[in-house]
Copies of this chain bind each other. A is one copy, B any other.
Amino acid sequence: MTGYDMAKEFETTLFEFWSAKHSQIYTELSALTVAGFVNYEIEISGNVLEKKMYSITPAGKLEFEKWEKSCTRKSYPPKDEFRLQLFFSDNISAEHRRNLLTEQLTYYKKRLSHLRDNLQKFDAIPPKEESEFSDYLVLMGAILREETNCKWMETAIRLCEEKERTSIGRTNETK
């Protein structure tokens, strides 16, 4: 795979949970090559254009597997600018807050429908021995995430629109 290919991957499949620009990818690939974790062969495309086809080395594979098995729970929960805005939304008008919420709902819905499109590629749950099973689990997680985000926004909007609410009694039960 070339660095260019990887950049494309980050724009599509991997986008749901990670991203990187080509500038970072190229510098990182150079560093990994020096470290001995990957190497590359040059392929000629057309007459002169050199493509660097990267492969993982045994040392890289070892390092990767070490990471893959590790249970590092760093940087969770993730930073989320919208939640930050919402937290301080008592400083703006009710209309502005409602606008924020409805815009966010639209955005979450858009992501959700895009994810559901991706789900069409699976006509059944892949067997757990297949490599597609991992992809399926991650996609399922992303869909659940966006479904929950949509529900969250819908509830929040409903609460904003309610005319009156008794301060005691209604706590958490939906309806």
**Partner-B contacts on A (CB < 8 A):** 14-19, 64-65, 67-69, 71-92, 94, 96, 99-100, 103-104, 107, 111, 119, 122-125, 127-128, 130-131, 133-135, 137-138, 140-142, 144-145, 147-149, 151-152, 155-156, 159-160, 162, 165, 167-172
- Contact yes or no, B128 A87, CB < 8 A: no
Tell me which residues across on chain B come within 8 A of A91, comparing CB atoms: 64-65, 68
- Contact yes or no, A123 B69, CB < 8 A: no
Tell me which residues across on chain B come within 8 A of A148, comparing CB atoms: 144-145, 147-148
A134 to B160, CA, bound (A): 11
Interface residues of A: mostly helix, strand, loop or mixed? helix
- Contact yes or no, A92 B65, CB < 8 A: yes
Contact of A83 among B73, B82, B130, B141 (CB under 8 A): B141
Contact of A159 among B92, B125, B170 (CB under 8 A): B125
15 A-B residue pairings within 8 Å (CB atoms):
A14-B84, A14-B87, A18-B80, A67-B85, A68-B91, A68-B92, A75-B81, A76-B80, A76-B81, A76-B82, A76-B111, A83-B142, A86-B134, A87-B134, A128-B165
